[in-house]
Amino acid sequence: MLADTTADPEEDSKRAQSGGLSANVSGGYRQGFKRFTDFTRPRIPGFLVSAVVAIAAQFLSDHYGAPAMLMALLLGIAFHFLAEEGNCVPGIEFTARTVLRLGVALLGARISIDLIMGLGVELIGIIVLAVALTCGFGLAAARLLNRGWRLGLLTGGSVAICGASAAMAISAVLPKNEHSERNLIFTVLSVTVLSTLAMIVYPILAATLDFDDVTSGAFLGGTIHDVAQVVGAGFSVSDEVGEVATLVKLIRVTMLAPVVLIISLVVRNRMSELKVAGKKPPHVPLFVLAFLTFALLNSLNVIPKVAADFAGGLSRWALLISVAAVGMKTSLKCISEVGRQAIILVVAETVFIATFVLVGLILLR
């Protein structure tokens, strides 16, 4: 019996369509993979160099007690030549910008509204007011010292909120000029040094004023710039002081998103009014939106504790790596050109927030 060899046009059409669809899907995957590799390949060397510098900084911090952010910054400056030319340039730029924003966004996973509200409305009010007034003080003081408003916002926000992390987040939404990189590296360096000094001096001051554990923790968490130094200073006194200091510090970290959002909106509107050319910041920066989303999910207990701890650790490493990249982008010569007025500015902001919080806590006792 002969086999039926008559072709079925409908079946042939289905097979052709299926083959064409498979080819299109396969081609789409290949194009997507090619775009991915084209984007990542030139950025890998610079990112890896930044990561190695960050690991070295963490090693120095773990074994010699030096602040990891400060070490990453200084080691990065030593490798400034890598950011001038060569294969590492695209990766360093990417790390200083995109990895930074990832780190800031993941900070939100550490925020829990329930824990913060447990501190009491009066204490929360003092801290929130201290953040707002310090930002305003930075702007006013910068004007008195004949420095630009960008530097005033940058230093004021970093002192008021969370040191280097805030400086880098605020810098991401400020319009750029020829001094932007210099001002950022100066701010990160200065607030890190001042945080380290405060970590030593402020616990002694709290003991001299005979503060109890809660008041001592509130003072340390409300005045020291960087999170790591707050934790170090608080737990060096006692576990209770360390826990309160960390919670109070988280109030200031929570203020990062609204402050950056307000700055972004004001800058955007100002550029529109003055018809300034250039790329305007978005209405709501994506990393700020991600920060708020993570904070909300963590407050609703949607994020498991293990995942929140992992996000917090990843955030810290992302910020450390991006600080190393920022250091690579700036030379010591640029930092030396910032002027003594800038040093006076950041010291004055530090004294202002410390005095305000101290007086507020004394009145609250």
Condensed to tens digits (0 to 9), the pLDDT of residues 288-304 reads 788 888 888 888 888 88
* Cα separation values, 38 from 35, 43, 45, Å: 5, 9, 14
d(CA 61, CA 8): 74
Confidence of residue 2 (pLDDT cuts 50, 70, 90): very low
Total domains in the chain come to 1
Q: Is residue 148 predicted with pLDDT exceeding 50?
A: yes
- Asked whether residue 198 is domain-assigned, the answer is yes
Convert the pLDDT of each residue in 330-357 to its tens digit: 666 666 666 788 889 999 999 999 999 9
Question: Could you count the other beta carbons within 10 Å of the beta carbon of residue 44?
Answer: 14
Token pair of 328 as six digits:
């690579």
Name the residue among 236, 256, 212, 225 with its Cα closest to residue 353: 225
What pLDDT is stored for residue 177 in this prediction? Answer: 78
Which residues are within 8 A (CB) of 346 and not within 5 positions of it... i.e. 6 or more apart? Answer: 155, 159, 187, 190, 191, 194
d(CA 245, CA 240): 8
Q: Is residue 20 predicted with pLDDT exceeding 70?
A: no
Confidence of residue 125 (pLDDT cuts 50, 70, 90): very high
Q: Is residue 259 predicted with pLDDT exceeding 80?
A: yes
Residue 126 or 270, more confident: 126
What pLDDT is stored for residue 269 in this prediction? Answer: 74
d(CA 89, CA 104): 22
Domain containing 309 equals 43-364
What pLDDT is stored for residue 1 in this prediction? Answer: 45
Length of the chain: 365
CATH number (domain holding residue 172): 1.20.1530
Which residues are within 8 A (CB) of 162 and not within 5 positions of it... i.e. 6 or more apart? Answer: 225, 226, 227, 249, 252, 253, 256
- Asked whether residue 16 is domain-assigned, the answer is no
Confidence of residue 45 (pLDDT cuts 50, 70, 90): very high
pTM of the model: 0.69
Mean residue pLDDT of the chain comes to: 82
Token pair of 75 as six digits:
């080691």
Burial label for 280, CB within 10 Å (0-12, 13-18, 19+), is middle
What pLDDT is stored for residue 163 in this prediction? Answer: 85
- Asked whether residue 15 is domain-assigned, the answer is no
What pLDDT is stored for residue 222 in this prediction? Answer: 93
- Asked whether residue 28 is domain-assigned, the answer is no
d(CA 291, CA 288): 5
- Lowest-pLDDT range, 43-52, 208-217, 248-257? 248-257
d(CA 141, CA 154): 12
Mean pLDDT is highest, among 1-15, 64-78, 159-173, for 159-173
- Asked whether residue 195 is domain-assigned, the answer is yes
- Asked whether residue 267 is domain-assigned, the answer is yes
- Asked whether residue 31 is domain-assigned, the answer is no
Q: Is residue 247 predicted with pLDDT exceeding 90?
A: no
- Asked whether residue 275 is domain-assigned, the answer is yes
